[in-house]
Every structure is written in structure tokens, then in C-alpha cells.
């Protein structure tokens, strides 16, 4: 079995706590937009950062833990199904985009935001059994791209941080 360094364990814990707090802060900020399903996706910041420092399996695991805990703390079963589909698809897409050359974490985050909203809309279409709400798709795609951009810009200084990079053995 591969040994996990103490540093990695600490980082996992910090990231899990970080994402939960971000999720909580998000619940506290009421958005003035009246369209259902629009939110900042602050917790995605933790996913992006852990994806860059701990790798794909860690990002997926942390994301899963975050969604389960966050739904237990602030949500219900219904919000769990939305978050789980949105969060996991967005995480998988971000892992894929990270492997494409030429994209920084901003591009990765944008794709994550868009994927998250598309997945949630798909769940809504299935759960509400109403195809007509799919017409919200363009709006949600644009909103996902914008929130993804903001989250990506926030993650950029963290990902670029020389000290963090060297302690995780990332050169370039």
C-alpha cells in the first residue's frame, strides 16, 4: 500500500474543512437573482486547489466527502441528489480538462462550473419530469462560466504559490 505523507493527511483535512466552510458561507449569502439554481459554487475553490496539489483521486474523494457532509449539515435528500450529480460531473470534467495542455486552473474551473450547472439541470429535468425547464440551459451555462471564472481567478494565486508548489513537488 502506498504510504500517505503526514503533510498530505493534514492537507486533506484542511481542504475538507475549507470546502465545508466555503459551502456554509455560500448559504449565508443570499443572491439577488431570482432564478432557481444559481449560486456561486464557492466550495469548488477547494476542489480546484486539491486537484492541483493532491491529484485527481484526492479531489474526487474530497469532493464526495464535502457533498455528503454539506448535505447532512445544511441540506436534505433532494439537495443531495442535485449536489452529488453536479459536483461529481464537474470534478470529472475538471480532471479531464486539466490534462489538456494550454489551460490554466481558470479554464479548468470554467469547465467545472458549466458542467456542474448542466448536470444539475439534467437532474431537475428528470426529477420534475418536465423537459421544458431545459430551456434554462443557455442561461445556466453562461452563469456557470462566469462563476467558474471567478472561482478560477481566486484559485490562481494559490495554485501559483511557490512555497506550496515546491512542498508538493510540482515543478514547471
Partner 1 sequence: MKKNDVILLLIIVVAAAALFAVLHFALADSGDFAVVFVDGEEYARLPLNEDAELTIKTEYGTNVLTVKDGQAYVTDADCPDKTCVKTGSADELKSIVCLPHKLTVTIESEGGR
**167 part of the interface to partner 1, by CB under 8 A:** no
Q: 124-163: which residues touch partner 1 (CB under 8 A)?
A: 132-133, 135, 137-139, 141-142, 145, 149, 152-153, 156
Q: Least Å distance between CB 6 and partner 1?
A: 33
Distance CA 40, CA 96 (A): 22
Which 8-state DSSP code applies to residue 130? -
Give the span between the Cα atoms of 45 and 48, in whole angstroms: 5
DSSP assignments along 12-76, one per residue? HHHHHHHHHHHHHHHHHS--S--STT----TTHHHHHHHHHHH-HHHHHHHHHHHHHHHHHHH--
Closest CB to partner 1 among 72 and 153? Answer: 153
Nearer to partner 1, 37 or 107 (CB): 107
Query: At its nearest, how many Å lie between partner 1 and the CB of residue 146?
Result: 8
103 binds partner 1 (CB under 8 A): yes
How many of the other CB atoms lie within 10 Å of CB of 110? 22
Measured between alpha carbons, how far is 83 from 89 in angstroms, rounded to an integer? 10
Site for partner 1 contains 40 (CB under 8 A):
no
Of 79 and 130, nearer to partner 1 (C-beta) is 130
| Site residues, partner 1 (CB under 8 A) | 102-104, 106-107, 110-111, 114, 132-133, 135, 137-139, 141-142, 145, 149, 152-153, 156
Amino acid at each position: 500500500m502506498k504510504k500517505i505523507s503526514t503533510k498530505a493527511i493534514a492537507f486533506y483535512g484542511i481542504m475538507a474543512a475549507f470546502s465545508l466552510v466555503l459551502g456554509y458561507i455560500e448559504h449565508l449569502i443570499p443572491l439577488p437573482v431570482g432564478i432557481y439554481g444559481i449560486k456561486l459554487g464557492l466550495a469548488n475553490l477547494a476542489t480546484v486547489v486539491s486537484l492541483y496539489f493532491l491529484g485527481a483521486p484526492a479531489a474526487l474523494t474530497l469532493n464526495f466527502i464535502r457533498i455528503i457532509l454539506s448535505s447532512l449539515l445544511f441540506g436534505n435528500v433532494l439537495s443531495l441528489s442535485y449536489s452529488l450529480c453536479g459536483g461529481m460531473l464537474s470534478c470529472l470534467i475538471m480532471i479531464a480538462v486539466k490534462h489538456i495542455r494550454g489551460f490554466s486552473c481558470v479554464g479548468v474551473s470554467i469547465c467545472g462550473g458549466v458542467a456542474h450547472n448542466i448536470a444539475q439541470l439534467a437532474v431537475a429535468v428528470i426529477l420534475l419530469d418536465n423537459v421544458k425547464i431545459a430551456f434554462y440551459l443557455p442561461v445556466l451555462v453562461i452563469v456557470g462560466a462566469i462563476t467558474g471564472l471567478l472561482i478560477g481567478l481566486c484559485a490562481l494565486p494559490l495554485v501559483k504559490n511557490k512555497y506550496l508548489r515546491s512542498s508538493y513537488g510540482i515543478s514547471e
